[in-house]
A and B are shown apart, each in its own frame.
Chain A
């Protein structure tokens, strides 16, 4: 990967993305969970966008939709202006797969236990014909070098179980880089790693962003690490984006009550105990067959009547910020 090459002006734009799953067994189930509902954002080269949410928010589904591991129920994904969701042919899909790659969450699960590290990196190189056959070994070593696994020859011959969690995650990153993508989706890449190892991986992401001009979507539930790597943030709740904007702005003055809740829940020893927002316990509004109205209303301290009747829209508030709330961001 040449650092000197100018990054392509390609962007990944997501418009109105939707994904629904049938819930429960049986042939005639009517319940559908709206895992992803009306999600729109743009990933730009050289910028890290954090997608923050808890489990069940739909963030992992968004990641897999971008990788075409699921097909969307609606909306579109545009790469370089072209809608890739309409791609049917293998050639077009393969081309997309060389541009958008993923780093998975579980460092052990994402590597094939019976194959060497060399295999994991050589395969994408071969499938996309990145380099001619005899140059594959050399490129594998270069990739391992890029992610800090030296000496590369030693690591290439190893099996996944011989590596630590952090090392495996670096292999995952190297595999994603093998096809020379422009967009990388990182699905909670550090949540299963030891604390002292996380920073190393996050620094690697920052390095790749700065030196290779990659666009990153950093999916996480951890606001603190999101702040460390990201430029922009999208906050998801029950399948919808409830707030977005430059991360420092959003964290400093969150507009959506859920963002405020998340912020106050993060352990921060420097924070005084009284400054925490009072938590109201209550059932999380499921995204199953959602009715009209705000999905956060059951937990929201600010909820008013209209919140139960009309689904709030994502309202642009200038400066790249938007929020989905009748109270703090009225249309």
Chain B
């Protein structure tokens, strides 16, 4: 049988136990989004007072809302929208942040001053009023309006961080060496500089993804959201509005909350794998040292060795 050619980064991602776990979790979430709705076979927006406020049961796996909608349906159908929102907003914000940050750092001079000012202006603008203004500006409502709004608010923060990382990399001798070798600027930026920023860019992406998912609920309050389209944020919104906590209806916020949390945990675990792929120094051989031995060592302030000999 012909051997499958697997790129080395895939192997590395799978070899790292943390990223393996992360990939597993994400796969689970994606599965939920893909086939969950068929499994639920219920309309997430169904209005049925008879079924309202039911705790999880075989009939309603995740219970029902105050309106009688099946939460499992909401979470699984909502997964698609939430994930799409998160991915799109994260990609937009991180993309812009990377372009602006790296450009500012590499070009220097007036370009840097101008872009830096732009970043600072956006940082200073209070996010909520900005969102309100944007929502008033954009007549339509919908997923893409939200993506745009989120991207607009969240890019500047990361741009500043990426710019400073790019600045410190630009002054390193290996960049000068590439220049002295005659490498064209474009290749220096993409081939030499940015591979050193992969970890940070990935982390930025995950952060924006996370914020987007959380803000989803907040956007409803600002009138930017669409309450009729199910998403994790919408389910959380309704749980909040209906005082689910006070009522003891834990199922209406725990499940969507867990969905968000699990997704982000999966991504964060994946990040450690990405770190290893992008930074060869982290690809160390690991030895099997017991968890307790390591804990004890850490707690002792590193003074007592596990195997110290008597003086």
Contact = CB atoms under 8 A, between A and B. Distances in A.
Given A159-B280, A161-B280, A109 B174 contact: yes
Interface in B169-196: 172-174, 176-184, 192, 195-196
Interface stretch (A95-103, A194-202, A210-218, A222-230): A95-103
Interface in A269-310: none
Interface in B272-304: 278-281
Interface string A88-115: 0010011001100110111001111111
A111 B180 contact: no
B181 A123 contact: yes
Contacts of B177: 102, 104, 110-111, 172, 175
Interface in A39-81: 64, 67-69
B195 A114 contact: yes
Nearest to A116: B280
Given A109-B173, A110-B173, A115 B180 contact: no
Nearest to A179: B181
B281 A161 contact: yes
Interface residues of B, number: 20
B166 to A, nearest CB: 14
Interface string A299-329: 0000000000000000000000000000000
A316 B227 CA distance: 87
B281 A159 contact: yes
A128 B182 contact: yes
A68 B181 CA distance: 11
Interface in B111-142: none
Contact of B176 (A104, A114, A124): A104
Nearest to A159: B280
Given A69-B176, A104-B173, A161-B281, A124 B182 contact: yes
A248 to B, nearest CB: 32
Given A104-B173, A109-B172, A109-B173, A114 B181 contact: no
B13 to A, nearest CB: 16
Contact of B182 (A98, A109, A114, A159): A98
B196 A127 contact: no
Contacts, number: 69
Nearest to B194: A114
Interface string B192-217: 10011010000000000000000000
Given A112-B174, A113-B281, A101 B192 contact: no
Interface in A99-153: 101-102, 104-106, 109-115, 123-124, 127-128
A104 B177 CA distance: 8
A69 B174 contact: no
Nearest to A107: B173
Given A104-B173, A109-B172, A114 B278 contact: yes
Contacts of A128: 182
A113 B176 CA distance: 14
B181 A124 contact: yes
Contacts of B198: 114
Contacts of B192: 112, 115
Contacts of B183: 123, 127
Contact of B196 (A64, A110, A114): A114
A159 B167 CA distance: 23
A110 B281 contact: no
Nearest to B193: A112
B263 to A, nearest CB: 28
Nearest to A111: B174
B195 A115 contact: yes
A101 B180 CA distance: 7
B180 A94 contact: no
A111 B280 CA distance: 13
Nearest to B199: A114
Contacts of B173: 104-106, 109-110
Given A112-B174, A114-B196, A94 B279 contact: no
Contacts of B180: 67-69, 97, 101-102
Contacts of A102: 177, 180
Contacts of A114: 195-196, 198, 278-280
A113 B196 contact: yes
A135 to B, nearest CB: 18
Contacts of A123: 178, 181, 183
A112 B181 CA distance: 14
Contacts of A172: 177
A114 B179 CA distance: 17
B199 to A, nearest CB: 10
A132 B181 CA distance: 18
Interface in A146-191: 159, 161, 172, 175, 179
Contacts of B196: 112-114
B170 to A, nearest CB: 12
Nearest to B283: A159
Nearest to B197: A114
Nearest to B279: A114
B195 to A, nearest CB: 5
Contacts of B174: 109-113
In the A-B complex, list the 3 residue pairs whose CB atoms are closest, starting with the nearest: A110-B173, A97-B182, A159-B280
21 contacts: A69-B176, A69-B179, A69-B180, A97-B180, A97-B181, A104-B173, A106-B173, A109-B173, A110-B177, A111-B177, A112-B192, A112-B195, A113-B196, A113-B279, A113-B280, A114-B198, A115-B195, A123-B178, A159-B280, A161-B281, A179-B181
Interface of A: 64, 67-69, 90, 93-94, 97-98, 101-102, 104-106, 109-115, 123-124, 127-128, 159, 161, 172, 175, 179
Given A113-B279, A114-B280, 8 more contacts: A94-B182, A97-B182, A102-B180, A106-B173, A109-B174, A123-B181, A159-B280, A179-B181
